[in-house]
Amino acid sequence: MSDNHPKTVREIRINPIVPTESVLVATARGMRPRKAEERVARDDRVHVETCPFCRGNEDKTPPAIAHWPSEKDWEIRMVENLYPVLGSDPGDGNVNFGLQQAIEGYGRHEVMIDHHHHGIRLHEMSEAHIAMLFGAYRERMEQLYASDNRLKYVLVFKNYGLAAGGSIPHTHSQIIATPVVPQNVHDEVENSHRHHQKYGQCIFCTLIDEALSYEATIYDRKSGEIKRKIDVGQYVIERSEHFVAIKPFASRYEWEVHILPLEHAPDFLQVTPELLADFAGVLKRTMARLDAVLEGAQYNYFIHSQPHGESFADCGKSYHWHLEICPRTTIPTGFELGSGLFVSTISPEDAAAKLRDVRLEL
């Protein structure tokens, strides 16, 4: 175990899928004295009279789009966003002048009330509920893609906590359908496609292989001393029959964890209820670990999946859907803004060990 003991790491780690999303790991900086982080008082109320997302206040939201399992006694409820960032009303069209280009903000913006319980945290939801929630995401994504071929991508995401930009306390997610494939998805899809063309392998499958079945010792060329040891499973946080949760070797957010299907699967829309039941357990346990280590995780998560539309039809073998969970524990500074390089003061190895060490009581 002594080889795994956290030591000072100071290196720039390149994200193998999107090299532009690299990270500077600088653990000595973690020794810097910090004021105790402001703990966010937990709002664990079941029902809040004034909350438009609570049961009984359905008339305070825009009309519902759908309910799960049913309108009466809904557990999950989907409504239009009162202040959408993209809309279906006719706009100015595209505008171009000089070097400037603007694409009309056509699209959809909807809100998923994740649970009728106002203050419930994700890992406190039942596995059946989490599976229903991701089933609801899947259903709505499918409907949106089918409804309008101007919608090129449907992004599902969740903001939990003020540090993650979550301004409404009742637990909820959002679905935004965009008129172009967003840059981050485009980069992943394009780079993994190029990797597949070169090597005939899905890069995500290779990374899963690496996480599950790779052990290495790297020696110093001159002295012969051990420079680094990579243990089997060192980056694995959770694993089930069909899914794995990985702390990436290179990731921008210190506690970032990705959940991927073990079997190659490009499109979240193809996920089955059986797979989602299995996925729900991995997500629940992963969130419980993050919440325990961070003493109340504030986080974003989002689903990345193969874009629909002809231009991406040939990416089925190269892309691999996944959920990215990004706990928000630091504020990017002028260094991040100016360089594009995020700083992580906890080594991913240490973060993974801490997450695995949590004793779950679920």
In the window 76-95, what residues touch its own copies (CB under 8 A)? 82-87, 91-93, 95
Determine if 34 is a binding residue for its own copies (CB under 8 A). yes
Alpha carbons 141 and 139: distance in angstroms, whole number: 6
Q: How far is the CB of 132 from its own copies (least distance, A)?
A: 20
Q: How far is the CB of 71 from its own copies (least distance, A)?
A: 27
CB atoms within 10 A of CB 9: 18
- Closer by beta carbon to its own copies, 165 or else 309: 165
**Per-residue contact string for residues 137-156; x = within reach of its own copies by CB under 8 A:** ------------------x-
- Closer by beta carbon to its own copies, 41 or else 331: 331
Site for its own copies (CB under 8 A): which residue of 49, 167, 198, 223? 167
Residue 33: cis peptide before it, omega within 30 degrees of 0: no
Cα-based angle 81, 51, 66 (whole degrees, multiple of 5) = 45
- Closer by beta carbon to its own copies, 1 or else 337: 337
The per-residue DSSP string of 174-221 comes to EEEEESS--HHHHHHHHHHHHHHHHHSS-HHHHHHHHHHH--EEEE-T
Q: Which of residues 223-242 bind its own copies (CB under 8 A)?
A: 227-228, 230
Q: How far is the CB of 43 from its own copies (least distance, A)?
A: 15
Determine if 98 is a binding residue for its own copies (CB under 8 A). yes
Q: Which of residues 292-331 bind its own copies (CB under 8 A)?
A: 300-304, 324, 326, 328, 330-331
Q: How far is the CB of 119 from its own copies (least distance, A)?
A: 18
Q: Are 320 and 265 in contact, with CB atoms under 8 Å apart?
A: yes
CA dihedral 249→250→254→259, nearest 10 degrees, is -70
Tokens standing for residue 34: 């910090």
Q: How far is the CB of 205 from its own copies (least distance, A)?
A: 11
Q: Residue 155's beta-bridge partner residues?
A: 176
